[in-house]
Amino acid sequence: MSDVVVRLTDVRKEYGDSIAVNGVSLEIRAGEAVAVMGPSGSGKSTLLNLIAGLDRPTAGSVVVHGDDLGRLNERGLALFRRRRIGMIFQFFNLIDDLPALDNVALAAQLTGTSAVHARRRALELLDELGIGARKNTYPAQLSGGERQRVAVARALMNRPALLLADEPTGALDSRAGEQVMDLLLDLNQIGQTLLLVTHDERLATRCASRLIEVVDGRVANERTLERTP
Amino acid sequence: MSAVWRAARAAVRRRRLQTTVVGVVTGVCTTMIVVALGLLAASSAPFDQAYARQKGAHLVAVFDASAVTGAQLTDAARRPDVEAVAGPFELANINIAPDPQVPPLSLTVVGRGDPAGPVDRLNLWQGRWASAPGEIVLNQLPGGTSLVTGVGSQISLVNGPTLTVVGFAFSVSRSADAWVAPAGIGALHPTSLQMLYRFAGGTVSTAVLPPNGLEGSQSYLTLREVAAAEALGFVAFLVAFGILGLAVAVLIVANVVSGAVVAGFRHIGVLKALGFTPGQVMAVYLTMVSVPATLGCLLGVGLGNLLARPLLSDAFRNLGAGSVGVAPWVDVVTLVGLPLVVALSALVPALRAGRLPAAEAISAGSAQHAGRGLRVQRWLSGTRLPRPVSLGIGLPFARPGRSALTLAAVVLGVTSMTFAIGLANSLTSYQNAVERFGAVQVEVHGPNLSVDTVRALPGTQHVAASAQLEVRQIGTTDETQLILYQGDNLGYQMLIGHWPAAAGEAVVSKRFLLQRGLSVGDPITVELNARRIQLRIVGEVLQNSAYAIFTDSRTVPDFVPDTVEVQLAPGTSVASYLATAEAAGLQADPNTHVESFIVIVVATASLLTLMLGVVATLGVFNTAVLNTRERRRDLGMLKSIGMTPRQVTVMVVTSMALLGAAGGLLGIPIGILTHRVVVPAMARAAQVDFPSVILHVYSLPLLGLLVLAGIGIAALGAYFPARSAARTTIAEVLHNE
């Protein structure tokens, strides 16, 4: 539990005249589940993008699992995302042309894993997440909850050190949202490090062990949570 | 209407790349259409067009000035079927001696006040018209071989005055070899009068000719047969390129414009949600694509006219019409037709979008989610191909309509390339066969040539001595050359019969046979220095000349060669042989004749192929831009799960390279078929025959290269959109839902 997976040091991100993240420093340790909350435009999604290597900081350093992201070029960042992190989005971002199984397998196939092996592991994950029976279904025919489970399976495909979730229940009805919360909690309980960005306090208090509140690009508050059942 | 205009203006501003693509593609395609239609228009009856443009004489008649008066000739021409008449002009036959080595040349000179007039308007393409005695204007094709070095040169008459060349003009009617001012003809002792007639509908009537004093007449129908032969050779390939260009241009414009509208479905939904009626939505989209398309169209028409002019002038230069432009109807049709194609291409998807409920339109615009495309993607997921490659191969199946249009453009691009390369190879191969490049490397010229001296030069393998004599074939007025050969047959290819092996045996070209109505086996008689020589045609030789008769040197007694053709021994360089010959006091030249016809055809075909290639590449570029725009979210997601920029580039390029490979495989057979149809048609039109080997120009490596050309067109068109897609900012795309 003492290994630091994410270390942000005085990170600043500017878009023209606007400051999205202003001098944020934080650490996330292996096995932790951290929720980042804050009002719209507070900079929480930008923070997630910086940790995922989807964006670069204007100043400061972002180190994830020992990789200083500021030192990586575009290819290096792609390889970092491939090996170190898994991402879940509010709107799932599945490829509509591919069935569930191939959407999940894709993440491994990009690393050069053969189609047979990638599909085998993808099926295991879909089974574990309870949607193995829907493996040949296209995203358009899946419910919101099912789509998010497929997205979670895809994020876990390469056994990431860090799972990042950006409003993972934001586009789901309450029942599907509950299911996704349970899923994330289960993952964390088996040791998966988790960083959630959310507006949903229930999600934060249920899944996270620590809450970071961001206001105007700064960490306004940070506290440990007692998980609610 | 102002809301429509504002929305369209905003859309144009917001979609700068797409607006630029629509403008550029429309511009380039319009250029292609103008050139293609211009070529097609000019290809239709080029001789008649050149004749009409220069008010060519349908009948040129020459009368004995002592037997008929000018007034009698003018009176006789007053008939309803005579559209216009020019003359009488005084005519003199003069002899000049431009080179002491060659016999004097006979020229027909006419006294004319100016190059214009109702009949036989001359194309005065260099210098000025003769205005004083002692000045002469020569009849010569622009760029053709000249008797003199240029304007200002002197021409000395045999036993007569010296004339100064003040200009060069061309008469499509071939009414004279040269012209002088009316005040200057007297010094040349004219003995005849020339009349030039144009008839209504081009129907020649000899009833206009007074019965007395007629020395000779020439109908334009005879000229048409001979003069148009070379131009007709161009027609077949210009028509092929014209049709290809037209098809590619229309396909690409339709693809680009409909793609622009389809890509705007979401925007259309937003407009409808704001309260725009379906009609207003359509108006916005028509305006949005019409603004850049109209600008492109206007620029393209200008550029097309500029580009077509040298092409047409080159193709039809032998009709002497000077600078040939694009027919005005071509500009009108293009300016009306292309915006119509643009409007129709935009209208179909815009109508569909107009009918869609707003919510559905907002969610539309992404790839189809059903059908064969999905099955293909699924199958590809399980293959051993690298995933970016298999994803790329699957992309075209998501938009089958757009992919089909792009594929068609690539097919036509590869067809043009295949045809052009085949054409160039066939013509080069024909040129090599006619000029015998493999068999004769050096020609030694000059008087008092000794064959033995040449044969004794180090590096000589075979020699053939020849002499060219000016003769007259009995029964015709055409000039004819008798070419006497002694020694080995160095590379002359026989198409029918055999090479002359005895005195009196002769071989001629297909053109010679056709133009004189002869066949192999027929006898002919020629007159040389008032002596008649009987010949029998024993074969048809692969040559262009309509005037050359090749015979054995024993046909004419006292054969004196003026040229010795040399085939060099293997390993002997032309340069070293020329130096050796010069050291031995011989005048030797390398055999480097290249026919200007072939140079022009190859250059024109290359330029047209380049244009078609650019248009096809633009078509692919547009499709790749639209595909990557529509798949921004997918690309962002793929990058978020670790797809590297290189893998994104590979995926997008592969998606188009697949179309390129398919285009190559489909375009090659069509190109070969076009080649098989057009080249023999060109040969028939140009009255030449060739061995079938000249059609077999597509080697396996070449075919492989052509498939690669299709892939190259596609890869080039896709590369920049692919690079741009690889640089997509993931965060922006994925959070911009």
A49 chain-B contacts, CB cut-off 8 A: 730-731, 735
- Number of Cα atoms under 13 Å in the Cβ half of residue B678: 31
**Band of pLDDT at residue B223, cut at 50, 70 and 90:** low
* String of DSSP letters for B437-458: TTT--EEEE-TT--HHHHHHST
Mean pLDDT along residues B419-424: 86
Nearest to B663 by CA among B420, B419, B392, B406: B406
Q: Which of A49, A138, A154 sits opposite B369 (nearest CB)?
A: A138
Terminal Cα distance for chain B, rounded: 31
- Token pair for B308: 């077509």
* String of DSSP letters for A148-174: HHHHHHHHHTT--SEEEEESTTTTS-H
* String of DSSP letters for B383-406: SSS-HHHHHHHHGGGGSHHHHHHH
For residue A162, list its beta bridge partners.
A85, A193
Q: What is the ipTM of this complex?
A: 0.86
Q: What is the DSSP letter of B103?
A: P
pLDDT value at residue B257: 73
Identify whether the C-beta of residue B57 lies closer than 8 Å to the C-beta of residue B175.
yes
**B411 pLDDT above the threshold of 60:** yes
Interface check B633 vs A, CB under 8 A: yes
Interface check A90 vs B, CB under 8 A: yes
Nearest to B716 by CA among B641, B618, B590: B618
Nearest to B651 by CA among B418, B394, B312, B450: B394
Q: Residues A165-182: pLDDT tens digits?
A: 988 888 788 888 888 888
**Band of pLDDT at residue B651, cut at 50, 70 and 90:** very high
- Token pair for B405: 């249009």
Task: Identify the closest residue of chain A to B374 by CA–CA distance.
Answer: A97
A154 chain-B contacts, CB cut-off 8 A: 641
Task: Give me the residue label for tokens 């009068």.
Answer: B193
Interface check A64 vs B, CB under 8 A: no
Cα–Cα distances in angstroms (integers) from residue A150 to residues A145, A183, A187, in the given order: 9, 12, 14
Q: Which of A79, A87, A106 sits opposite B644 (nearest CB)?
A: A79
For residue B506, list its beta bridge partners.
B537, B551
Q: Residues B470-499: pLDDT tens digits?
A: 777 766 556 678 899 887 778 888 999 999
Amino acid letter for position B256: V
Interface check B644 vs A, CB under 8 A: yes
Contact A97 B647 (CB under 8 A): no
Task: Identify the closest residue of chain A to B378 by CA–CA distance.
Answer: A98
Close Cβ partners of B302 (under 8 Å, ≥ 6 residues apart): none
Residues in B 384-423 with any Cβ partner in A closer than 8 A: 384, 386-388, 394, 398
Å from A107 to nearest chain B CA? Answer: 6
Q: What is the DSSP letter of A195?
A: E
pLDDT value at residue B438: 76
Distance CA B655, CA B492 (A): 51
pLDDT value at residue B737: 43
Identify whether the C-beta of residue B151 lies closer than 8 Å to the C-beta of residue B165.
yes
Cis ω before B88 (30° cut-off from 0): yes
Cα–Cα distances in angstroms (integers) from residue A6 to residues A37, A48, A218, in the given order: 17, 11, 17
Contact B378 A98 (CB under 8 A): yes
Interface check A107 vs B, CB under 8 A: yes
Interface check A141 vs B, CB under 8 A: no
Contact A93 B381 (CB under 8 A): no
**B366 pLDDT above the threshold of 50:** no
Q: What is the DSSP letter of B69?
A: -
Interface check A103 vs B, CB under 8 A: no
Cβ-count burial of B189 within 10 angstroms (0-12 exposed, 13-18 middle, 19+ buried)?
Answer: exposed
Pairing of strands B460-473, B442-445: unpaired
Q: Give the start-end residues of each E strand in B455-596.
A: 460-473, 479-487, 494-497, 505-508, 523-528, 531-541, 548-552, 563-568, 587-590
Helices (H), B44-136: 46-53, 70-76
User: How many beta-carbon contacts under 8 Å exist across A and B?
Assistant: 102
Nearest to B71 by CA among B238, B210, B170: B210
Identify whether the C-beta of residue A205 lies closer than 8 Å to the C-beta of residue A225.
yes
Cα–Cα distances in angstroms (integers) from residue B377 to residues A98, B397, B542, B655, B726, in the given order: 7, 8, 57, 12, 21
- Token pair for A168: 């993972």
Contact A110 B642 (CB under 8 A): yes
For residue B137, list its beta bridge partners.
B167, B179
Terminal Cα distance for chain A, rounded: 23
Nearest to B490 by CA among B598, B562, B428, B568: B568
Å from A93 to nearest chain B CA? Answer: 6
Q: Which of B367, B643, B645 sits opposite A110 (nearest CB)?
A: B643
Mean pLDDT along residues B216-240: 63
Identify whether the C-beta of residue B615 lies closer than 8 Å to the C-beta of residue B406.
no
Q: Quick one: what percent of chain B has pLDDT higher than 90?
A: 9
b or e along B642-664 (b: 16 or more beta carbons within 10 Å of the residue's beta carbon)? bbbbebbbbbbbbbbbbbbbbbb
Mean pLDDT along residues B425-442: 82
Residues in A 120-139 with any Cβ partner in B closer than 8 A: 138
b or e along B260-280 (b: 16 or more beta carbons within 10 Å of the residue's beta carbon)? bbbbbbbbbbbbbeeebebeb
pLDDT value at residue A176: 83
pLDDT value at residue B318: 55
Q: Quick one: what percent of chain B has pLDDT higher than 70?
A: 85
* String of DSSP letters for B603-633: HHHHHHHHHHHHHHHHHHHHHHHHHHHHTHH
Task: Give me the residue label for tokens 């004219």.
Answer: B190
Q: Which of B374, B636, B646 sits opposite A138 (nearest CB)?
A: B374
User: Average pLDDT of chain B?
Assistant: 80
Contact B637 A78 (CB under 8 A): no
Mean pLDDT along residues B605-631: 82
Pairing of strands B563-568, B460-473: antiparallel
Identify whether the C-beta of residue B688 lies closer than 8 Å to the C-beta of residue B426.
no
User: Average pLDDT of chain A?
Assistant: 89
Amino acid letter for position B425: N
- Token pair for B681: 């048609």
Å from B626 to nearest chain A CA? Answer: 17
Å from A190 to nearest chain B CA? Answer: 22
Task: Give me the residue label for tokens 């593609």.
Answer: B25
- Token pair for B440: 């004769």
Å from B29 to nearest chain A CA? Answer: 34
The number of residues in chain B equals: 737
pLDDT value at residue B594: 58
**B668 pLDDT above the threshold of 70:** yes
Distance CA B356, CA B352 (A): 7
pLDDT value at residue B368: 45
Q: Residues A48-100: pLDDT tens digits?
A: 999 999 888 999 999 999 999 999 998 899 999 988 999 998 888 888 888 99
Q: Residues A21-61: pLDDT tens digits?
A: 999 999 999 999 999 999 988 998 899 999 999 888 999 99
Cα–Cα distances in angstroms (integers) from residue B665 to residues B608, B662, B704, B705, in the given order: 21, 5, 10, 11
- Token pair for B392: 């790329």
